[in-house]
Amino acid sequence: MAQVVLEDICKSFPARQGRSPQESSQRLAVAAPSATVAPSLAKVGKAQTGQVAQTGQVAQMGQVDILKHINLAIADGEFMVLVGPSGCGKSTLLRLIAGLEEPTLGNIVVGDRCVNDLPPKARDIAMVFQSYALYPHMTVYNNLAFGLRRTRMAKSAIAQQVEQVAQMLELGDLLQRYPKQLSGGQKQRVALGRAMARDPQVFLMDEPLSNLDAKLRAQTRAQIVQLQRQLGTTTIYVTHDQTEAMTMGDRIAVLNGGVIQQIAAPLELYQRPANRFVAEFIGSPPMNFIDVQVKDNQHLYHPHFTLTLPDTWGNTLAPLVGRSITLGIRPEHLSLTSDSPQSLPVQVALVEALGHETCLSCTFEAEKGMSMLLQVRIDPQQIVQHNDKLWLEIDPQHIHLFEADSGAAIAV
């Protein structure tokens, strides 16, 4: 087991001829150059810190930045989730740690070693791929044992290790089957077992659940968390699914455009987002945003409503009087009410009855004749129909405020 420290990591790829750097950046972040490596990686001695090029020099040579000065410390035994939209650089960062890509700038430290100059097989890291990457001509047993055989471990020790992993993952009855004879969930368990069998310092998981159906995804998600806690192995998990991120990680690093937006525990991200991007990305349905004006140190003004804020906002809002800011409200912090100066007039555009709750999409008339959709969560016992005209009340104890230009959160 080991901590992982990323120090000022940058990664650039060359812009393709005839394509702008912006177009290349979008494509390269999604599809980094591929490489084929052994699923489990063996440990060797120390390596010296690698010499890398400066980012500024790369930019001048017509290359595009995919990762920009990433600094991240992952504690020994921690389950860290990297989450963000497609193309944000999260899979590229995972490949850098695995050794499948070389950083343009910065150092990658695993345990007490800088691994920049080490090949993938020497980093003592195991990676679980999105596509399972099982050897189709090998049985489940041989897939699990493959990495161990490369270390020249005794056959009896290999058999014991494979049996132990198979028992943990409930694969005992499948050891003589081939991958083509397995379901998607069984294949994923074999891929996890192959990584576990080597007992590496670090697990890397690149969207391992994306090929599974919803029910199986939930089951496997819980199983991965239980196994990680049982083994205590440092795990870095990449996903674009914020539900996976919120339910699995000890901490979450939110990426966008190759930059870490915020690193925090799941509930802290949800309750205290650092900026508008994090607020919108974390949570489903997403947070609602309304442009308002600071009327005084206790009131926010909109042409259709006025919101009175708690006294705790007074000192924060005093310097912002007269300025336009963005008001953020989560769907569960909007409720049905009667017509009043503080209520929002809306019309129901969509009703989604989910059983345990009902989600509404409501049309709200914003400034200058423009309309927007507000997402609302209500109790399933409240009966609402399409095209109903309603009034919504904002819970002032649970609002979020953001700078209109930068999107940075305005803290109390």
105-110 and 4-14 beta bridge pairing: antiparallel
What CA–CA distance (Å, rounded) separates 289 from 328? 5
Rg (CA), the chain: 25
Give the model confidence (pLDDT) of 269-306 as tens digits.
999 999 999 999 999 999 999 999 999 999 999 999 99
366-378 pLDDT, tens digit per residue, is: 776 788 999 999 9
Q: What is the pLDDT of residue 358?
A: 95
Specify the domain boundaries for CATH 3.40.50.300 within the chain: 4-276
Residues of the chain with CATH 2.40.50.140: 288-403
Q: Which has more pLDDT, 350 or 223?
A: 350
Residue 168 tokens read as 């943990």
Structure tokens given for 402: 């953001």
Lowest mean per-residue pLDDT among 22-31, 33-42, 189-198: 33-42
Asked if the model's pLDDT at residue 43 lies above 60, the reply is no
DSSP string, 24-74: HHHHHHHSPPP----SB--B----PPPP---HHHHHHTTEEEEEEEEEEEE
Least Cα distance to 161 among 199, 120, 107 occurs for 199
Neighbouring CB atoms inside 10 A of 382's CB total 10
Task: Say what the pLDDT of residue 21 is.
Answer: 52
pLDDT computed for residue 344 by the predictor: 94
Q: How confident is the model at residue 62 (pLDDT cuts 50, 70, 90)?
A: confident
Q: Which CATH class is domain 288-403?
A: mainly beta
- Secondary structure class of 399 (helix, strand, coil): coil
CA 358 from centre of chain: 26
Local structure of 325: helix, strand or coil: strand
Q: Residue 55, Cβ neighbours under 10 Å: how many? A: 20
Distances 187 to 133, 220, 235, 240, 248 between C-alpha atoms, Å: 9, 11, 20, 21, 21
CATH class of 4-276: alpha beta
Residues of the chain with pLDDT > 70: what percent? 88
- Give residue 247's pLDDT: 94
Helical ranges in 305-411 per DSSP H:
314-317
Distance CA 308, CA 269 (A): 25
The residue among 74, 178, 53 whose CA lies nearest residue 116 is 53
pLDDT in tens, 185-194: 889 889 989 9
Query: What integer pLDDT is reported at residue 220 of this predicted model?
Result: 85
Q: Is the pLDDT of residue 22 over 70?
A: no
First to last CA, the chain: 40
pLDDT digits (tens, 9 = 90+) for 325-360: 999 999 999 999 999 989 999 999 999 999 999 999
pLDDT value for 392: 96
The pTM assigned to this predicted structure is 0.83
Selected residue with higher pLDDT from 353 and 57: 353
Higher pLDDT, 267 or 208: 267
Q: Is the pLDDT of residue 141 over 50?
A: yes
The dihedrals phi and psi of 282, each to the nearest 5 degrees, come to: -90, 115
Q: What is the mean pLDDT of the segment spanning 244-249?
A: 94
pLDDT at 55 exceeding the cut of 70: no
What pLDDT band is residue 211 in, cutting at 50, 70 and 90?
A: confident
pLDDT tens-place string over residues 382-409: 999 999 999 999 999 999 999 999 999 9
3-class DSSP state of 126 = strand
Residue 216 belongs to what H/E stretch?
A: helix 214-231
